[in-house]
Structure 1
């Protein structure tokens, strides 16, 4: 290509082109073999000072060119613009940049796979660099691209299918396009929020990592979709926010891994097993492994009420492949269900919505007289209420003798559990593969947390499920109203 076009678009309900440069030229630069871990090291070729009148939002940078073959070639990156402090909205959405880094396989590898010369070797890289492009499909992709949640019911003795992988292979997208980030998750929520009059500011997980006070100005902080990876500092920011009276609205699932970031924020580290983490001996609490590890001592439920090890998969491959796709309601009188007309035992978000699908969170629980209660052995807050539940498993059962590819085989889970050994709590080893997905809420300090416990809330909003929409409104309106009351009290 002789030249290309650079275009910046504020994405959302009505995408708006904000800036364009045609006939841009640049020298050709190769990517290092370890670009996924160390970055590309490319020089700056174009700069832009963001105009002060640009609204807060998620901005997509598109590189576009016409190849000599006539094919239109496009790739994307992003940045977020935060609101002017003098005109800051009361709610902020936290974009899941750490989870994106875990799944970004541009350059050949991510935290899951791609290392080594054997294409069957799924060994992942413990390092993920910010100094490289983002895998195709995480920032932008066509409407209707398949999700990881399986919306097709497996027939008797049927083979599992993974439509998102098949679509990616056929169309030249990353295998992980549907595993994380904007195009699959946050974008759908933002479009719904803008359509329904909710004004949002925009932060990233990296903002929370850098500044524990960054959430202080807001009444409501929102996380949606797949927020699997968090650093210690990011959790500190959320805990501080809730303790001080904030409302944390999580419409997401699979809260599982601790990561570390380098001082310059250019590298994310996740070794998974403390025995592989070179810094674990000096600082066992910040070892990059599951939050439930005894050596870490900070169960995920203490921050968000639920955790990833309690649930994980449902309606994915052979993971509960014929479940309803919805949550069974147990506490319809809870404020989050006000106005929904839901009854005890109703299915919330079942097919064709598939709210309870792909990856979900839970806690250890028991039943008493028809209602679920936490056992509190996994750090669940004493004020936690379990509102709704669905069956889930930690890995997919292989009934095909290894002849078919399995997306998340249970043997990987067993192998990882063996690697952690006594560092895992007994309840994880005892639970084998079976778990649950949950919707829950609790109070902490002067604030409150609502946890939707599933990655698929944004999709449920996109398809217009009226029960889901009313619940999301209830949560946002309650947390925003509580913030306004706090401001009025403080003013007096």
Structure 2
């Protein structure tokens, strides 16, 4: 080979990625325990990061966009996300700059200068709006999302409350979230304080159609290590580790697409709106919660409870109703000390009912079941990593004569949506017993009087497997220990074992002049995405009945 050939990459069989830096490791990797966070780098791969001054706007409002990029020029496209994307605004090439982030940007926000302002048209349709950022080569550099609220409320429209507090909790952009990161002095570097003034993590706003979901596509057929397919994919493709666990792209967007294709009108609010406005749900007949809605303020719950008491209907197709949080600085900062709340939350001694811990904590004393009929501590994981990976992935029906099952043909002990991986990754349940073959609430954990358990499945708070596979466990039995520390008199092995057992439920109850239907699993929306006939029929039965207000 001559010198010309040596300079010819094709002649050398050169592969793409010649500028990739090789990582060095020593010893075994840590499987799903390994973590990474998104921190922008001027010399890194081409990217842009964007956030807005608020999460939701009214038609006619002005949106302030803050943007940083390591590319010199960008173009923006703003479109309404839906089955058919509708573009409302595009820009020519704009000069962009890279802005360093301040220390602990995840806590204090980015503090970037305004990049551009955009006035939402007065006739803009309600929905989720994507800001897509491209470079001069037309490569996509990043995405941002904001909500445009309906100009006028309609009783015949569903009002979907986007789980923005849970999105924020899983957003590791800038160095930390409520789970892990680089925050000093906390377990796994998680931050109890998170700013709303920062971009969403990669994968929370937009995903390719083939991105894995949080429940593995198939059950393992042999013993082996725990697998988290979505984490493996995220690691290989440069997405946030927990992209599949919270965000518009994984949960609210698929529901909106399905609902609009079914002919429903969907208005969207954020949890910020629900927190700040006691009248946010007024004027609607049916409020919907979808996917993963783990984090709530007391004010949010109060406003949902008042809506139901006054005759509103709630359809919750979501799982993991777990933590009380607080919003500070006019909603720009979210507070959640979680497992460390008793020791670290500043209000622990003075306002224990405001403690940012589990709703079932006796100090908080506001059982989750009083709002949605179920709670996370009695449920949690199913078909997730090493947590019951071979368990059924559908609900078993126990009260087939209930109106929610009308027209389905389902009978006692039938299962639905197992093929759609509907039951998981986190579910909610209750303390219960069986009477004559039917599950009945024990009413020891806040379940409203008259609540019916319509369908069930089983869950766990601990990973199990062979000792040689323990290296692959991401969560171990930590949640079982936490539950036992709150609900049990001791932390003996027997107590931890007992508190590792849970259940996921579909429940229905009346409260005041309203009523609540909860299908307590995060992945209910996947049944709709898969067009599972039973999931679709049950969802339509609930929504149509609640919209008719019958």
TM-score range, shorter chain: over 0.9
Aligned to 2:14: none
Equivalent residues, number: 476
State whether structure 2 residue 353 is matched by structure 1 residue 285: yes
> 2:97 is matched with which residue?
27
Partner of 2:541: 474
Match of 2:377 among 299, 309, 317: 309
The alignment status of 1:270 with 2:340, answered yes or no, reads no
Q: Which residue does the alignment assign to 1:357?
A: 424
Compared CA separation, residues 116 and 259, structure 1 to 2 (3 A): closer
Aligned to 1:196: 262
State the match for 2:271 in structure 1: 205
Partners of 1:98 and 1:229 within 8 A in 2: yes
Asked if residue 52 in structure 1 is aligned to residue 122 in structure 2, the reply is yes
TM-score (norm 2): 0.83
- Shift in Å, 1:86: 6.5
Determine if contact 2:183/2:190 at 8 Å carries over to the other structure. Answer: no
Aligned pair partner of 1:344 in 409, 412, 415: 412
Q: Distance in 2 between matches of 1:281 and 1:467?
A: 49
2:75 is paired with a residue whose SS is: strand
> By how many angstroms is 1:417 displaced?
4.5
Q: Partners of 1:470 and 1:291 in 2: how far apart?
A: 32
Counterpart CA distance in 2 for 1:59 and 1:44 is 19
Q: What's the CA shift for 1:140? A: 0.3
Aligned twin of 1:10: 80
Deviations 1:294-321 (A, max 9, x none): 0111000000000001110011112111
State the TM-score, normalizing by the size of structure 1. 0.92
Contact 2:226 2:469 in 1 (8 A): no
CA contact (8 A) 2:397 2:456 kept: yes
Distance 1:91 1:41 in 2: 36
Q: Secondary structure at the match of 1:61?
A: strand
Name the stretch that deviates more: 152-161 or 370-379: 152-161
CA distance in 1, matches of 2:481, 2:455: 28
Tell me how far 1:73 sits from its aligned partner: 4.1
Which residue does the alignment assign to 1:396?
A: 463
Change (3 A) 1:429 1:21: same
Counterpart of 2:40 in structure 1 is none
Query: 1:428: how far off?
Result: 8.5
- The 2-side partners of 1:429 and 1:286 are apart by 27
Q: CA deviation at 1:438?
A: 0.6
Task: Indicate the residue corresponding to 1:488 in structure 2.
Answer: none
Match of residue 106 from structure 2 = 36
**What is the DSSP-based 3-state SS (H/G/I as helix, E as strand, rest coil) of the residue aligned with 2:190?**
coil
Q: 1:330 aligns with which of 382, 391, 398?
A: 398
Q: 1:267 to 1:236 in 2, by over 3 A?
A: same
State the Cα distance separating 1:31 from its structure 2 match: 1.0
Partner Cα distance (1:416, 1:401) in 2? 26
The unaligned stretches of length 5 or more in structure 1 are: 486-492
Q: Deviations over 1:214-264 (max 9, x none)?
A: 101100000100001100010011101100101100011111001000042
Q: Choose 220-229 or 142-151, whichever is displaced more.
A: 142-151
Q: Structure 1 residues 423, 414: CA separation in 2 closer, same or farther (over 3 Å shift)? A: closer
Against the structure 1 CA distance between its residues 101 and 137, is the aligned structure 2 distance closer, same or farther, given a 3 Å change threshold? same
Select the residue among 355, 370, 376 that pairs with 2:443. 376
Verify the 8 A CA contact 1:293 1:423 in the aligned structure 2.
no
Whole-angstrom distance in 2 between the partners of 1:117 and 1:270: 16
Q: In structure 1, how many angstroms separate the alpha carbons of the residues matched to 2:183 and 2:194?
A: 16
